Amino acid sequence: MTLNNNKTVVVAMSGGVDSSVAAALLKEQGYNLIGITMKTWGFDDFPVKDSGCCSLEAIYNARNVSDKLGIPHYTFDFTEKFNETVIENFISEYMNGQTPNPCVLCNKSIKWGVLLDRAKELGADYIATGHYAKVKNSQGRYFVSNSSDVKKDQTYALWQVSQYALGKTLFPLGDYTKPEIRKMAESMGLKTANEPDSQEICFVPNNDYRELLEIRIPELKRRVDKGEVIYKNKKIGEHKGFPYYTIGQRRGLNLALGKPVYVSRIDAENNKVYVDDESGLYNRGFIAREVNFMKYGSFEKPVQSKVKVRYKDIGSAATINQIDKDTVEVIFDIPKKSITPGQSAVFYEGDDVIGGGIIREILE
């Protein structure tokens, strides 16, 4: 067993099984631990369920596990910061015709932002989470790499974490699978052993972003004008407001074409929603901005990579060309379906994340 009695780790404890076992594994390795649960939204803000991330039940679960492990536990209120960064960005992106990934921004700004700052104030050497990922170092640069559990791997959502933050990070679950983690929790007698996995964005009521928009913007239905739905350069109907639509959407279009069509493009500036046959959802590439380079400091020449454009994407072969310090062009070997502005694009070299960016412009 590695002895780490002189090292202190702040463990982000969500009240779920993953972070609980992460804490238990670090305790076995001899670290001094401080359990912290982050409160990121107000209990009266949204009509959400009483269970899940940030709920009172989650806080009680995290405290129960901390007591069992014999470590101190604190709950920190990051509601204001979370609201002004993650939630406001989420809303503004949809209001600009984009489809955001709030978990990516939360990881950068909250977990590896204000939580890391708080850990430093507490004198901690590292922070740790229950993410299924590995953090590695090569030639002086830190990067994340795929976990041993392909189905649960969470590297896609970690591409924005900075070099400094990765150097202060431990991922205890990187070498395990989810079934192994549940068995460990059961053998340790942890209350969270059978907690269900979180499947939804924590602050989105009923897993429906449209409901959140209407809660935060009460005048939304009056503020957003109806507009044209375009198919093959012809108007075929009206939409109820472009923020209510996402790329690839088929249901709820209310179009009588006698065949299925899908949202292929959202033109927020001109208030138009374009639809097409499934074949029209494929594009050759995109421009990504706000790029963060991980394994390498930059791409001085074209790079061959596997690129994911959404969380559940298995990735596709592509060539990446760096345009400037925070912008790249990505061209797929074979046209890719449903590339969505606002979503994250993550670039892989084998199992390693070499960088990522936000999809901003589609290349037809």
The CATH number of whichever domain residue 231 belongs to comes to 2.30.30.280
Active-site annotation holds for 106: yes
CB 14 within 8 A of CB 107: no
For residue 51, what pLDDT is reported? 45
Q: Exposed, middle or buried: residue 214 (CB in 10 Å: 0-12, 13-18, 19+)? A: middle
CATH value at residue 330: 2.40.30.10
**CB–CB of 334/354 below 8 Å?**
no
Same domain for 106 and 237, yes or no, is: no
The residues near 184 (Cβ < 8 Å, ≥ 6 apart) are 21, 24, 25, 176
- Does the active-site annotation cover 53? no
- The single residue of 53, 54, 103, 202 carrying the catalytic annotation is 202
Residue 281 phi, psi dihedral angles, 5° rounding: -85, -5
Provide the CATH number for the domain around residue 159: 3.40.50.620
In terms of domains, do 286 and 359 share one? yes
Given this model, what pLDDT does residue 74 score? 96
Q: Are residues 164 and 269 in the same domain?
A: no
Residue 18: which domain range? 8-206
Strand partners, 347: 307, 355
| Residue 217 located in a structural domain | no
Domain total of the chain: 3
Q: Is residue 130 part of a domain?
A: yes
- Please tell me the distance from the alpha carbon of residue 166 to that of residue 187, in angstroms, as a whole number: 31
| Whether residues 262 and 123 fall in one domain | no
- The candidate with the shortest Cα–Cα distance to 259, out of 242, 245, 273, 280, is 280
Please indicate, yes or no, whether residues 176 and 285 belong to a single structural domain of this protein.
no
User: Is-contact 104 124, C-beta < 8 A?
Assistant: no
Q: Do 188 and 124 fall into the same domain?
A: yes
Q: Are 245 and 172 members of one domain?
A: no
Which amino acid is residue 148, in one-letter code? S
- Do 173 and 297 have their domain in common? no
Query: Which helix (H) or strand (E) element contains residue 356?
Result: strand 352-363
The pTM of this model reads 0.93
Instruction: Tell whether 260 is covered by a domain.
Output: yes
CA neighbor of 342 nearest in space, from 263, 273, 286 = 286
In one letter, which amino acid is 254? N
Q: Are 275 and 263 in contact (CB under 8 A)?
A: yes
d(CA 286, CA 342): 11
Residue 219 located in a structural domain: no
- For the chain, 364 residues long, give each residue's pLDDT as a single digit of tens: 456 778 999 999 999 999 999 999 999 999 999 999 999 876 555 554 454 566 778 899 999 999 999 999 999 999 999 999 999 999 999 999 999 999 999 999 999 999 999 999 999 999 999 999 999 999 999 999 999 999 999 999 999 999 999 999 999 999 999 999 999 999 999 989 988 887 678 888 788 899 889 888 888 877 678 899 999 999 999 999 999 999 999 998 989 899 999 999 999 999 999 999 999 999 999 999 999 999 999 988 999 999 999 999 999 999 999 999 999 999 999 999 999 999 999 999 999 999 999 999 999 8
